[in-house]
Amino acid sequence: MKFKGHHIISMTSFSRDMIDSILETAERMEPIALGKQRSDLLTGKILAVLFFEPSTRTRMSFETAMYRLGGNVLNLGSVDASSIAKGETLADTIRVVDGYADAIVLRHPKEGAAQLAAEFSTIPILNAGDGAGHHPTQTLLDLYTIKRESHLEGLKIALAGDLKYGRTVHSLCYALSLYGAEITLISPMELRMPEEIISDLEKRGAKVTESDTIEDAINEVDVIYMTRIQKERFPDPAEYEKVANRLKITPELLTDARPELRIMHPLPRVNEIDNGVDETAHACYFKQAFYGVPVRMALLALVLGAIEI
């Protein structure tokens, strides 16, 4: 399998074999990600970080990943201070930065931006989110978390919250369908997963059921993946409160849960996971955030050709 020079634009281009190789590589990166082992795998390499939209986690974990492997990071800085504010096109920015770095990680508010960047770049583009489009490294770190904290084979997972607009959830479900997962979708009526996506998932081998309460799922699944419900989706604030309260995980809900049950969340959370859950063995959202580092290390090492698998 060759990753050298490849762009990472969307999950749709990944086969199960490719995903497995990335996750295996990430596992080898973990001691380095934890700072227990030093690496000079990417010494002399420069990653350009172009974020046209704010992000903390994704940007920081890419930067950490690069530093942990001995590489360097070049940051675009704030957008208003750069020439983008003067109206430079993304295509021009990419062609310029192409000459300054060995790979580019890009977050941009418009769908298709990473694809466009790839057309103008001679170095690998890593998509860190393009509007409502793709965010493949989030999906890979979600898969990695499931692999490390639970299991991908024969997985039963419940996804709860905004399943209509949540791109993370759609992309994760597509990837999980490659593993034949049993998926339970838990959302208010207004935020149900689009019908086309559900039927697509079924065609690809996932088993999908829908439900509107978390209670029933808790004893059925290996993983509960919570997402945030945005207030803006509800014209009526009272309606939002009602829905948000119904899709909430509390320590009480978990009293009879099996010890193996894992709870994930892409973060930031608002109040869909009670702070009391953090202390339980079920919580793994902070670990999930950490797992972004070894996964991004693996991707960087692979696309820069420092590792071959």
Partner 1 sequence: MNEEQELRVKRIENGTVIDHINAGQALNVLKILGIPDSSQGVVSVLLNSPGKFGIKDVVKIENRELNVREVDKIALIAPNATINIIRNFNVSQKKKVHIPTFVEGVVRCVNPNCISNSNEPVTSKFDVSVEGNLILRCTYCGRSISEDIAKNLL
Q: Which residues bind partner 1 (CB under 8 A)?
A: 10, 89-91, 108-113, 115-116, 119, 130-133
Kind plus residue range of the DSSP H or E element containing 191: none
231 has catalytic annotation: no
Instruction: Tell me which residue of 249, 251, 290, 255 sits closest to 269, measured CA to CA.
Output: 249
Annotated catalytic residue, options 6, 7, 45, 58: 58
Residue 272 near residue 248, CB atoms below 8 Å: yes
Query: Rg of the Cα trace of the chain?
Result: 20
For partner 1, the closer CB: 28 or 110: 110
By beta-carbon proximity to partner 1, the closer residue of 11 and 19 is: 11
127 vs 145 by CB, closer to partner 1: 127
The letter for the amino acid at 258 is R
CB-nearer residue toward partner 1: 95 or 269: 95
Are 15 and 280 in contact by the 8 Å Cβ rule? The answer is no
DSSP calls for 205-240: T-EEEEES-SHHHHTT-SEEEE-PPPGGG-SSHHHH
Q: Give Cα separations from 283 to 21, 233, 258, 289, 296 (angstroms).
A: 26, 27, 13, 12, 22
Active site residue 86: yes
Q: Is 57 a catalytic residue?
A: yes
Q: How far is the CB of 216 from partner 1 (least distance, A)?
A: 34
Q: Which of 2, 36, 86, 203 is catalytic?
A: 86
Using CA atoms, how far apart are residues 109 and 120, in angstroms rounded to an integer? 18
State the nearest-atom distance from the C-beta of 234 to partner 1, in Å: 22
Residues 57, 192, 204, 246: which is the catalytic one? Answer: 57
Rounded Cα distance, 123 and 214, in Å:
45
Q: Is 89 a catalytic residue?
A: no
> Which residues on neighbouring strands pair with residue 46, listed in sequence order?
72
- Pick the catalytic residue from 7, 107, 147, 262: 107
The yes-or-no answer on residue 156 being catalytic is no
- Token pair, residue 91, equals 């295509």
207-211 β-sheet, strand order: 207-211, 182-186, 156-160, 223-226, 262-264
If the CB atoms of residues 67 and 120 are measured against partner 1, the closer one turns out to be 120
State the Cα angle at 179 between 176 and 182, rounded to 5°: 65
Minimum Å distance from CB 16 to partner 1? 21
Closest approach of partner 1 to the CB of residue 113, in Å: 5
User: Which is closer to partner 1, CB of 130 or CB of 272?
Assistant: 130
Q: Which of 135, 147, 248, 262 is catalytic?
A: 135
Could you give the CA distance from residue 80 to residue 182 in angstroms, rounded to a whole number?
A: 45
Distance of closest approach, residue 114 Cβ to partner 1, in angstroms: 9
CB of 47 to partner 1, least distance (A): 22
Is-contact 69 17, C-beta < 8 A? no
Catalytic residues: 57-58, 86, 107, 135
